[in-house]
Amino acid sequence: MHPTASLIARQATAQDDITGDGTTSSVMFTGELMSEAERICTKGLHPRVLVEGYERAREEALKHLDEFKTNVDNFDEEVLLKIARTSLRTKVSEDLADHLANIVVKAVLTVRDSENSNEIDLHMIEIMHMRHGAATDTRFVDGLVLDHGARHPNMAKRSEKVAIFVCNVSLEYEKTMDNSTMMYKSAEERRKLVLAERRFTDDKVKQIIAFKEATVGTDGSFVVINQGGIDPISLDLLQKAGIVGIRRAKRRNMERLSKACGGYAVSALDDLTPDCLGHADLVYEHTLGDDVFTFVEGCKASKSCTVLINGPNDHTIAQIKGALRDGLRATANAILDKSVVLGAGAFELSCYHHLMKYIATSDIAGRLKIGVRAFADALLVIPKTLAQNAGFDAQTTTVELLDETRKGTKAGVDLETGKAVLPEQAGIYDNYCVKRQFIHLGTMMATNLLLVDEVMRAGKKMNGKE
């Protein structure tokens, strides 16, 4: 890969890591800034002058972005759906995007901290997949889906009004961590040692059984989800007591289980209290081929949830995963920013018009205006590309839209007609942080690339080679 292309690719990765979206816009904007620079510098303008113009234009564009954005103190579900649709429709088909948008909004509102809306932990959203059914079968689960089931054949496959006991306790016979040798005087002594070791594990199982009987009674539904192991003898004891035992739960799911069901995970079985228990309306197993899944659904006041992806093949599943990730980040970004930006290229068109007025009215030096003008022209690559991808003439569409913008209309590109559309009425919204980041990163990358020759010359002078 060419070094310049590699740098721009890293820039796109940084854009994705920070905001979760805007990678294409960032790359296109950087490329257009470089194209404008090539056109201007071949006519004799020094890159340093052009860079100063770019930096002045960036500062002005960011100021205009702060004025252009729409502040929203409390997002209702309808606005969040529009934000999610705007992000998802650029990744998957319209019907699937609208279906996923409902799932994304439910998931974000589930994990959102009601007391502090600035805290949205997207890691509390478990994304599972099944290679089964159609993509539109993807659904939201108000609980957790575990990728394994109970290991005892006689344990209940479906339980209602369930108490969930989450723990990290070893319920199996374990070998010593270090090499050791045991010497016996007789077979009887060996038998006593084996029984003592077995009793150590059985006592812990009996503590769980006693806790179950004390909290939900002998007939109540009780599920043990253990991060550690449960050996066959312990499983048999639990089954006879009417307890469903699930072992080897993933570490990442331990906190999610507590957030979803309530209660908390315990690591010792002494002094157990009922407040450590979680609750779910339904726990059931679902078998798909050789795979077994356990669904924990109907969790009250849940702060963790699952998005279960269905798809006929790995490609479709990967595509939906990527779309969901971007949709979740876009929805969360809007809530954290407490603002939105009109989409469909409306901001870029408005910023172009603003920079043209800035050139005409400001007192910046004559040559710096060339860089500001080039920056403004580069911004138009977004609406031009939208029009071109929709099958319309980019130049004609852009001219018509700029005419609307000069009238004071916040217009964007209508991909159906190629004419002007009001993004607010069409429900097309972008993230404030995404716009801010791609303007900043694009300008910074173009600046570094344009000044690389000066950096190299400065390095040679310092080494005494020039």
Return all residues near 241 (Cβ < 8 A) that are at least 6 apart.
Answer: 209, 212, 213
Name residue 463's amino acid: N
Count helices and strands in the chain by DSSP H and E runs: 16, 14
Distance CA 229, CA 248 (A): 6
380 phi, psi to nearest 5 deg:
-70, -5
Return all residues near 404 (Cβ < 8 A) that are at least 6 apart.
Answer: 411, 420
Distance CA 424, CA 405 (A): 15
Query: What is the C-alpha R_g of the chain?
Result: 30
pLDDT at 460: 47
pLDDT at 2: 57
pLDDT at 320: 92
DSSP state of 165: E
Consecutive 10-residue averages of pLDDT for the chain (466 residues): 70 79 83 86 82 89 90 86 89 90 91 70 87 89 86 87 89 69 73 78 88 86 88 89 88 84 86 87 86 86 87 91 90 88 88 88 79 90 88 87 85 85 87 88 85 55 51
**130, containing H or E segment:** strand 125-130
What number of other Cβ atoms are within 10 A of residue 361's Cβ? 7
Return all residues near 154 (Cβ < 8 A) that are at least 6 apart.
Answer: 239
pLDDT at 26: 84
Instruction: Please provide the distance, in angstroms rounded to a whole number, between the alpha carbons at the two ends of the chain.
Output: 30
Q: Residue 338 — left, alpha, or beta (φ > 0 → left; ψ -120 to 50 → alpha)?
A: left
pLDDT at 73: 80
Q: Copy the structure tokens of residue 240.
A: 């006879």
138 phi, psi to nearest 5 deg:
-55, 135
Strands 305-310 and 139-141: antiparallel
Q: Copy the structure tokens of residue 441.
A: 């990163």
Q: Copy the structure tokens of residue 287.
A: 């078998």
Long-range contacts of 388-395 (CB under 8 A, 24+ apart): 389/415, 390/415, 390/416, 390/418, 391/418, 392/418, 393/418
Distance CA 18, CA 13 (A): 9
Q: 112 has which bridge partners?
A: 120
Q: Which domains does the chain have, with CATH numbers?
A: 3-72+340-462 (1.10.560.10), 144-301 (3.50.7.10)
